[in-house]
Amino acid sequence: MWRCLLLALLLGSLALAADARAVLPGLPAFARTRWVVQGPEEIVTYLAFDPDAVRDRLPSGLRFITVGELADGGVTWAREQLGRRPALASWGVSFLEIVRARTFTVDGRAPRWPSHGAAALWLARVAPADPGADLGPGRPLVALELWMPDRAYARYMREKGYQAAYGDVRLRRDSSGRWLGSVEVPGLEVTVACRPAGPVGGGPMSAGMQAFFPPANSTVTDTVRVAFAGHREQACGSGTSWELRGTHPIVGGILLGETSYQYGYHLIGGTYPR
C-alpha cells in the first residue's frame, strides 16, 4: 500500500513538473549560456523614475516607456497616478525586486551567498525608438542594475554576458511572517518590509517572456532573454514600507501601486548577441 501511495505521489509530482514545462515559452535557439532559477521568493514594486537621471544608460535604438504613454493606452494605475501627480507623465516606468532562490545557476555554477543572501534588480521598460524595429521575443527591459552579494560570481556573470555587480543584498522571513529585504551599495541603502495578505493570484498556467538589454555604460553587450512559468503572487498588506536613501538615481523614484510577494515560478534564460 505504501509503495502504491509513494508511486502515486511521485507520478503526481512528475505530472506537475511536466505541466510547468509545457507552459514555459520557448526561447530562441543557440543561446550562448543557460540561466536557471527555481524556487524563487521575491518582493517586487513598480517605480517611476526621472529618465534624465539615467539617460546615459539608455542603449542606442531604444526609448523609455513613460507613465503618460501607459495612461494614454488605458492602463488604470497609470491614469490614477497622473491624476494625483501630473508631472509623472514624462517619467519612465521600472520595477525593483529583491529575490532569493533555491536554484540560481548560470551554466551550472551557483553563487556563494551569505546567510539570507539574495539578488536585487532594477529593470526599466523600454521600446524601440523606431516603431518598426523588431527587438525579438519578450517584453523589452533595460537592466539598469543587478546586484548580488558574491563578488566572484558577479564577475563570472559579466564574463558570461549578464549585467551584474556586487552589492550586499539580503532577504529573509521573520517569525511573524514578514519578509524583510535590504540592499547596500555605494550611494544607496534600501530596506523593505512586506507581509503577504489576501488571495493568491497566478498559478501553473501563468507564463511570459522578457528581454534584458544591458545599459549603454556597461561592458556587457549581449541581450538576456528569459522565459518563465508558474508565477504566484500575493499583495503585501498593511505595514508595507520601502525606504530608499542615498545619491543613487533610484532614490528619486516614486513608488507606483502595491508591493507584491511573488514566488513559485520556474525561469530559464540565455544570452544572445544583439
Mean pLDDT of the chain: 90
Hey, what domains does the chain have and what are their CATH numbers? 2-272 (2.40.400.10)
> If you average pLDDT over residues 38-63, what whole number do you get?
96
CB 111 within 8 A of CB 153: yes
Model confidence pLDDT, tens digit, residues 162-199: 999 999 999 999 999 999 999 999 999 999 999 999 89
Helices (H), the chain: 2-23, 67-72, 76-84, 151-159
Name the pLDDT band for 206 (thresholds 50, 70, 90).
confident
- What are the residue ranges of helices labelled H in 118-271? 151-159
Residue 147 CA to residue 98 CA, distance in Å, equals: 9
Higher pLDDT, 205 or 267: 267
Question: Is the predicted pLDDT of residue 8 greater than 60, yes or no?
Answer: no
Angstrom distance (rounded) from CA 10 to CA 32: 34
To the nearest whole percent, how much of the chain has pLDDT over 90?
82
Distance separating alpha carbons of residues 1 and 152, to the nearest angstrom: 50
Tell me the whole-structure pTM to 2 decimals. Answer: 0.89
- Per-residue pLDDT at 24: 83
Residue with cell 523614484: 253
Is residue 17 pLDDT above 60, yes or no?
no
**Beta partners for 94?**
47, 124
